[in-house]
């Protein structure tokens, strides 16, 4: 029988494969579409996604997370969970279709009504998807999930690009999304044949909701934390500014979202299996923290330094307005990622209430400052308003982690200082190169490779000075989750 270690490592491979492939497709798609469509077109698509996400989030049951976290056998709960999911999907699709005119008028974009009505179909297909797709996350078996997710992403990519070239209209974006969602629904039953049945068992649903209610509340708050700024921009600044803002957010959070997904999918079930062993939890948490910062900190620095060059070369001159927003959100993404790391730990050990409270605090801080910042500084001020509060959130989470895991300040310092120091050295080299070399696509890629190489050298130099930095990952034990993620990521990219 495969050990939990092997399952975690295999899960890290497949989930990383999913997200790396998805991000490659998303990068290519965004770059192509940015050349074809206008910022206003992306803004209208963003309005449709916001309307769908808001309605979907406010009806989250949290059952999927409850099935993963719940101890013991859960197969008997699948039919009840699928029944609720199917009913919910149908109600949401009908509700969003009916409310499309209201949503479009709220954002002052009447043209978005038809887009919202089309995108409502994806909510029905999601609700009818095979509930067993989450069962493999609980057992740390992600191979089937790889093919399930990737099939929809490929269809979405092809349909969107082809229709965008032919129609030059934002309708291509929503049709591609619906096509991808439908493909995933079909593939979920092909990959894992299972005949769903309607079962409305109040007792089973009650058991799942007992845990899921906190996930529901957390998801509501998380949605407002992640998308509240976009709703604000769309409502008060128009669809064009929303297009600029969301494009900046997509590129600023490319790496952080990928890491957050991998961490959530892999470490959440792993944490739940070791939730009663605090020393192992502590080791696992700090290893994840170490290796996510190894990637997220230099990525944020590079995006900050080369935001203007990247935007001009890859997206075109018409997108340069978003450069300051991209710079701020890139730095803020590091803080958001660290907060997600901690939130996954809280959920994994069965304490989602802590994450909910922290999320409420973050939301209140943002709500207090977002209007004055946006009033005086536009979408740049909005970006500042949603990023700065996470400095305070990081401090709060640090205090709670110290109490739960018995961690000390030097435990954090030891994991965080190497990437920060190496990134500072890399940034100095980047500034010197920018002064000397004119920027085009070739030089941008070349300089990026040089800077990545220099960063790796600085990390290796640090490990020579502090041999204990990597010594804790020289053994093969359960908590090597993030180290294996790093190895697989290098393997895939190279």
Burial 23-40 (b: 16+ CB within 10 A, else e): bebbeebbeebbeebbbb
Report the C-alpha gap between 488 and 494 in whole angstroms.
10
User: Comparing C-alpha atoms, which of 408, 415, 364, 402 is closest to residue 386?
Assistant: 364
Half-sphere exposure of residue 35: CA atoms within 13 angstroms, side-chain side: 11
Lowest average pLDDT, out of 121-130, 336-345, 462-471, goes to 462-471
Tell me the mean pLDDT in the region 427-435.
Answer: 92
Report the C-alpha gap between 295 and 310 in whole angstroms.
19
pLDDT of 445 reads 92
Q: Is the Cβ–Cβ distance between 109 and 166 less than 8 Å? A: no
Report the C-alpha gap between 418 and 6 in whole angstroms.
28
Q: Across all residues in the chain, what is the average pLDDT?
A: 80
461-481 pLDDT, tens digit per residue, is 887 776 665 555 444 343 444
State the CB neighbour count (10 A cutoff) for residue 374. 22
Q: Is residue 264 pLDDT above 70, yes or no? A: no
Q: Which residue has the higher pLDDT, 31 or 143?
A: 31
User: Comparing C-alpha atoms, which of 370, 381, 296, 379 is closest to residue 340?
Assistant: 296
pLDDT of 319 reads 95
Tell me the mean pLDDT in the region 41-56.
Answer: 87
State the CB neighbour count (10 A cutoff) for residue 140. 23
146-187 pLDDT, tens digit per residue, is 777 788 889 999 999 999 999 999 999 999 999 999 998 888
Q: Is residue 436 pLDDT above 90, yes or no? A: no
Q: Is residue 68 pLDDT above 70, yes or no? A: no
* Close Cβ partners of 468 (under 8 Å, ≥ 6 residues apart): none
Q: Which long-range contacts (CB under 8 A, 24 or more apart) does 201-206 make?
A: 201/80, 204/76, 204/77, 204/80, 205/80, 205/81, 205/84
Report the C-alpha gap between 72 and 59 in whole angstroms.
27
Lowest average pLDDT, out of 19-33, 313-327, 416-430, goes to 19-33
| DSSP code at position 169 | S
State the CB neighbour count (10 A cutoff) for residue 126. 20
If pLDDT is split at 50, 70 and 90, which confidence band does 393 have?
Answer: very high
Q: Is residue 109 pLDDT above 90, yes or no? A: no
Burial 50-71 (b: 16+ CB within 10 A, else e): bbbebbbbebbbbbbbbbbbbe
pLDDT of 477 reads 40
State the CB neighbour count (10 A cutoff) for residue 435. 7
Tell me the mean pLDDT in the region 14-29.
Answer: 74
pTM: 0.79
Q: Is residue 72 pLDDT above 90, yes or no? A: no
Half-sphere exposure of residue 415: CA atoms within 13 angstroms, side-chain side: 22
pLDDT of 211 reads 55
Report the C-alpha gap between 8 and 323 in whole angstroms.
38
Q: Is residue 382 pLDDT above 80, yes or no? A: yes
pLDDT of 58 reads 61
Domain of residue 356, residue span: 4-493
State the CB neighbour count (10 A cutoff) for residue 142. 23
Chain-centroid distance, C-alpha 126: 18
Q: Is residue 60 pLDDT above 70, yes or no? A: no
Q: Is residue 64 pLDDT above 80, yes or no? A: no
Which alpha helices (H) appear in 306-408, and where do they start and end?
A: 307-310, 323-348, 352-387, 389-405
Report the C-alpha gap between 181 and 302 in whole angstroms.
33
- State how many domains the chain has: 1
φ, ψ for residue 467 (rounded to 5)?
Answer: -65, -20
């Amino acid at each position: 029988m495969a050990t939990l270690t092997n399952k975690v490592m295999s899960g890290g491979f497949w989930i990383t494969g999913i997200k790396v492939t998805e991000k490659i497709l998303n990068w290519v798609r965004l770059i192509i579409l940015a050349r074809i469509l206008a910022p206003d077109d992306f803004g209208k698509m963003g309005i449709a996604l916001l309307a769908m996400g808001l309605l979907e989030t406010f009806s989250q049951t949290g059952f999927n997370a409850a099935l993963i976290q719940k101890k013991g056998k859960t197969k008997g709960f699948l039919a009840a969970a699928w029944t609720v999911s199917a009913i919910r999907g149908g109600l949401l699709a009908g509700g969003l279709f009916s409310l499309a005119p209201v949503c479009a008028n709220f954002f002052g974009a009447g043209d978005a009504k038809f887009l919202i009505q089309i995108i409502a179909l994806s909510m029905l297909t999601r609700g009818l998807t095979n509930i067993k797709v989450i069962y493999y996350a609980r057992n740390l078996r992600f191979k089937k999930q790889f093919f399930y997710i990737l099939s929809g992403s490929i269809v979405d990519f092809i349909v969107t690009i082809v229709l965008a070239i032919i129609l030059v209209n934002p309708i291509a974006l929503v049709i591609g999304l619906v096509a991808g969602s439908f493909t995933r629904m079909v593939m979920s039953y092909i990959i894992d044949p299972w005949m769903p049945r309607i079962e409305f068992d109040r007792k089973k649903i009650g058991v799942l909701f007992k845990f899921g209610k906190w996930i529901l509340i957390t998801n509501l708050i998380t949605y407002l934390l992640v998308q509240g700024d976009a709703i604000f921009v769309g409502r008060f600044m128009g669809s064009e500014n929303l297009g600029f803002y969301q494009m900046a957010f997509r590129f600023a959070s490319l790496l952080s979202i990928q890491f957050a997904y991998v961490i959530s999918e892999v470490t959440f079930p792993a944490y739940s299996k070791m939730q009663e062993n605090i020393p192992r939890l502590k080791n696992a948490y700090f290893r994840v923290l170490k290796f996510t910062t190894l990637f997220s900190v230099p990525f944020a620095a590079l995006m900050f330094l080369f935001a203007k060059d990247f935007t001009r070369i890859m997206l075109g001159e018409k997108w340069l307005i978003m450069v300051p927003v991209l710079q701020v959100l890139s730095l803020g993404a590091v803080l958001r990622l660290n907060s997600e790391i901690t939130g996954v730990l809280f959920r994994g050990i069965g304490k989602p209430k802590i994450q909910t409270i922290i999320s409420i605090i973050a939301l209140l801080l943002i709500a207090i400052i977002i209007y004055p910042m946006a009033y005086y500084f536009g979408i740049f001020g909005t970006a500042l308003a949603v990023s700065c509060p996470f400095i305070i959130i990081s401090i709060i989470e640090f205090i709670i982690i110290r109490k739960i895991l018995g961690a000390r300040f030097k435990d954090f310092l030891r994991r965080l200082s190497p990437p920060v120091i190496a990134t500072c050295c890399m940034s100095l080299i980047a500034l010197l190169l920018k002064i000397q070399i004119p920027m085009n696509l070739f030089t941008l890629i070349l300089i990026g490779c040089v800077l990545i190489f220099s960063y790796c050298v600085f990390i290796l130099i640090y490990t020579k000075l502090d041999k204990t930095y990597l010594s804790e990952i020289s053994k093969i034990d359960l908590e090597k989750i993030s180290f294996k993620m790093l190895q697989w990521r290098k393997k895939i990219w190279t």
